[in-house]
Amino acid sequence: MIYVLYGHDEFSLKEELNRIKDELGDREALATNTTEFDGKQVAPGQLLDACKAMPFLGTHRLVIVDGLLSRFEKGARTAKESDGDEEQEKSLPKKGWRAEWGELKQSLPGIPPTTVLVFTDGAVRKDNLLLKRLAPLATVREYAELKGAALGEWIRNRIKLGGGVISPEAARMLATYAGDNLWVLAGEIDKLILYCAGKRIEEKDVKEVVSYAREANIFTMVDALIEGRSATAVPLLQQMLDEGAAAPYILFMITRQVRLLVEVKDLVNQKCSRIEIRKRMGITSDFVLNKALEQSRSYSMERLEQIYRKILETDISIKQGIWKGDLALDLLVAELCV
């Protein structure tokens, strides 16, 4: 069995991967028969050898390849190649790493039925060459970022799955507090279900229970700021200021994230692998690492340095009394979102 799981929604992707693992029997036996590859480093021979190996003291072998599809994004179709897949196939170089993967489509059907192969990745284009090659052979699932009505539906379904029910007003409040961070939302939903013990979750329950989600607003606001989503960043900034958050604390959190992006960008420019970046920066969370890598792609190092200088100017203007903290942050957020 072959799966391709990709998209912005890492939380749902991870849940699906865990579901696949659960279907393969005893987790301890599966752990000894699991091989994980960094898609940016693995060679075709390594992958196929792992897939062909028979499980040891277990029923299945699980092979997970993360990030391989992204390697094929630079080879997306040009206008000249848009006549069909055949022309796109011809565009592959006859030598080099892309050519090495050319026979993957023919080799994968021959892997043993005891092997489950899972390709995971972030958002990739629909015309990604490897995705198109794997689609006829695999179960393909895309996990798009949840927004608006889709996010509200996810909240209601998650609560229903846990045996609870929530009012529309409470669901909107929960989404406002936690933003679109499903990792935060899932934890807060679990707490709300336990707290209400079978009763419908109302706005007052969200206010009483979701203290961490209020704190998580700072992370949602900073993400929105870095990604240029002013419609999310500005209201969240105002909400935090209204609730008494200190301007120096908010500025510190913005600085912290920009510093993280500078460090990640520098390591990417040094051609460091994902595993090397994780080790050198001491990042333990896949969510944090993926978010930093994704955000850093949107900026040049020069632009990040400009942002850093702007943050420094804002800090000085607050400390010297040139601007009040809330107004200085408003100006900073407005400029950075542009």
Would you write out the chain's pLDDT as a tens digit for each of its 338 residues?
A: 899 999 988 889 999 999 999 888 888 888 888 999 988 888 888 888 899 999 888 889 999 999 888 888 764 443 333 334 444 444 444 445 555 676 777 788 888 999 999 999 988 888 888 888 888 888 999 998 888 888 889 999 999 988 999 999 899 888 876 666 788 788 889 889 988 888 999 988 887 777 555 555 677 788 888 888 888 888 888 877 876 777 888 888 888 888 888 899 999 989 888 888 888 888 766 777 887 888 888 888 888 888 888 888 888 888 888 888 888 888 888 888 76
Class level of CATH domain 223-337: mainly alpha
192, 201 in Cβ contact below 8 A?
yes
258, 22 in Cβ contact below 8 A?
no
SS3 of 50-86: the string is: HHHCCCCCCCCEEEEEECCHHHHHHHCCCHHHCCCHH
Q: Which of 118, 120, 130 is nearest to 74 (CA)?
A: 130
Interhelix angle for 301-319 vs 325-337, to 10°? Answer: 170
3, 63 in Cβ contact below 8 A?
no
Rg (alpha carbons) of the chain, rounded to whole number: 23
Q: Which fold has domain 2-142?
A: Rossmann fold (3.40.50)
- The amino acid sitting at 135 is A
Q: How far is CA 145 from CA 88, 120, 122, 149, in A?
A: 29, 15, 11, 12
Class level of CATH domain 148-209: mainly alpha
Instruction: List the domain boundaries for the chain.
Output: 2-142, 148-209, 223-337
- Count CB neighbours of 323 within 10 A: 17
pTM check: above 0.75: no
